[in-house]
Structure 1
């Protein structure tokens, strides 16, 4: 009954609509360029699937967790973490290992900011995987200037000159709706944005709920209007 689940219902609506709203803001700013939710690392594991599900409901093309994608009915989207090239000591060895062991339906997207110049590393991994490489991801930390539109343009130009026009460029690292708009306005050739902290840090929407009817009888606490208030935007779920 509602009396039993009131707190749970309000909590789910508050958090999930906040995350979905943040995702929608990013999607609208991206103007058709795919946005992937990568917010799982910013929240407790118990709610990582919920935040990813909410982000997809908000319009994200996909999300980074398997369970979140399963809830949302989409294919999860991700790539190798920085830990892989760091452990293996080389970005090329890392993407080659990723290519050997991951299912074929998983896109091969290589991180190229771990050890070397991003443009040079993009060429290295492209030469290693060639047509099997779907794209590269730029996640340059703020300590080195972060990902910039000029960097994206340079990497694109270097890939094109080397004959790797099929290799797409994905970006991540502190993206917000404003920053997404700035990238697109500058003409940065981005194939997709990964957004994490902007979605996870969105405050919950303040939801409250009260009983207005008990067993068909209008009833409410003082200050509330007894009787069901119909809303055509809502679907009955209980």
Structure 2
């Protein structure tokens, strides 16, 4: 069975039917496609680039296996000659992209593929599939980080993510954006992302008493004692924790924290903090979870809740308030000529493009300019070569990507960092050269 994440059949049928037609015509000149977001969701002032590593992995390993070719043959939709050609199919093109962790805005190309049109066309659906999910999560996570600075944030979203790949993407993308780690164990193994875990309510319920459950967990996990205290009575359980801390201290075991997953989280955290402090347990941390998002984080902290960290699940993994992007992958050049879509409300800017970002003398963001790749425009270039002849130029360590995103968020203008919609939003200018090219393309195809 094919690995779905790498299979070229994880695509829309029309990609293959177009390839059959291109093959019949002998059309395979160089094409340039760009992935971009037409407009930001109403709840987003910016987006965070993510998913590039997964996309490049897909491109590097793109090929049809025997099982896939046999299925295409029995479908009856494709010629024997075409299928023989597919058996040798590989991605040999180039990719330019914004590095992961970079902040970007509407109409800015995040990724550009230059390759023979059959190669560039076939990968459209999967590229959009990969980038949308990870950008959504990274952007949601970044808003949580901005809402709860200096707090430990942990990805709890695996069970509500839309499938295994989305769960892994959520762990990685949220870590890029500044989360401290994830509860998803496989992400820890694959990327060395720190993993966090406490206990479930079922563990408490399976024991004769909360104290019995707490003691058993502490003895089983002496270096990771974080106790869930809201199964029955949160405040009573907090008092049990104080009593247990003395008992465990004699065994050399320290209780690191308690987690509250229900109720009035802000109010309970204050009362629990008081109980712990009065019992001499000032070093025990308080972690909150349960239907949290960036808005609840803001409200809880604005209420003065003494919280050390948050576990964020569903809202993060599905980007609940903005679950999709108006993102597209469009042809911008073919056979050396710039191309442009003119459909009403879906017009595109033609040609190979670059994005340049300008800052003032204090490093404050001024605006971005969408321009032609080699046009002379002021500002820092945001797209770079990441793949050549179907092979990565280099692989960035996750630590570097995290540092980039932290730097971007630190420099983000305050109006954009706020949860409320910025009005006006960030300015993305269109260069004179791009405007002129669009007019020339319109005249050529009018």
Q: TM-score, normalised by structure 1?
A: 0.85
What secondary structure sits across from 2:198 in the alignment? coil
Residue 230 of structure 1 is matched in structure 2 by 354
Written as runs of structure 1 = structure 2, the 5 A alignment for 1:23-62 is 23-46=141-164, 47-62=166-181
Structure-2 residue corresponding to 1:133: 255
1:56-135 mapped onto 2 (5 Å cutoff): 56-102=175-221, 104=223, 107-115=224-232, 117-128=233-244, 129-130=248-249, 131-135=253-257
Cα contact 2:167–2:317 (8 A) shared by 1:
no
C-alpha distance in structure 1 between counterparts of 2:340 and 2:328, whole Å: 13
Distance 1:158 1:12, change over 3 A: same
- C-alpha change, 1:188 and 1:230, in structure 2 (3 Å) is same
Q: Distance in 2 between matches of 1:23 and 1:89?
A: 39
CA contact (8 A) 1:49 1:71 kept: no
Asked if 2 retains the 8 angstrom alpha-carbon contact of 1:29 and 1:181, the reply is yes
In 2 relative to 1, CA 152–222 (structure 1 residues): closer, same or farther, beyond 3 Å? closer
**Size of the alignment, in residue pairs?**
229
Deviation digits for residues 91-141 of structure 1, max 9, x if unmatched? 33333333333473xx211000112x212212213432445210000112x
Kept after mapping to 2: 8 A contact 1:34/1:192 = yes
Return the alpha-carbon distance in structure 1 between the equivalents of residues 163 and 328 of structure 2: 26
Change (3 A) 1:101 1:5: farther
Match of 1:7 in 2: 125
Higher-strand-fraction structure:
2
How far does residue 31 in structure 1 lie from its aligned partner after superposition? 2.1
User: Which protein has the larger Cα radius of gyration, Structure 1 or Structure 2?
Assistant: 2
| Structure 1 residue 228 displacement after superposition | 1.8
| CA contact 1:53–1:69 (8 Å) conserved in 2 | no
Q: 2:274 aligns with which of 151, 157, 160?
A: 157
Change (3 A) 1:220 1:157: same
Q: Show structure 2 runs of 5+ residues with no match.
A: 1-90, 92-119, 343-347, 356-380, 388-446
**Structure showing the higher helix proportion among its residues:** 1
Q: Provide the C-alpha distance between the structure 1 equivalents of 2:286 and 2:136, rounded to a whole number of angstroms.
A: 29
Q: Compared with structure 1, are the counterparts of its residues 229 and 98 closer, same or farther at alpha carbon in structure 2 (3 Å cutoff)? A: same
- Secondary structure in 1 aligned to 2:329? coil
Unaligned runs of 5+ in 1: 141-145
State the SS of the aligned residue for 2:206.
Answer: helix
What's the offset of the Cα at 1:52? Answer: 1.6
CA-based RMSD: 2.3
Distance 2:287 2:313 in 1: 14
Establish whether residue 207 from structure 1 lines up as the match of residue 327 from structure 2. Answer: yes
Mean CA deviation greater in 10-19 or 67-76: 67-76
In structure 2, relative to structure 1, the CA distance for the partners of 1:9 and 1:63 (3 Å cut) is same
- The structure-2 alpha-carbon separation of the partners of 1:234 and 1:126, relative to structure 1 and needing over 3 Å to count, comes to farther
1:198-230 alpha-carbon deviations (Å, 9 max, x no partner): 212321222211243568x34546545554212
1:45 is displaced (CA, Å) by: 4.3
Q: Structure 1 residue 189 and structure 2 residue 306: aligned?
A: yes
CA distance, structure 2, for counterparts of residue 67 and residue 193 of structure 1: 21
Contact 1:57 1:72 in 2 (8 A): no
Aligned-pair CA distance for 1:74: 2.1
Per the alignment, do residues 21 and 226 of structure 1 end up closer, same or farther by CA in structure 2, a change over 3 Å counting?
A: closer
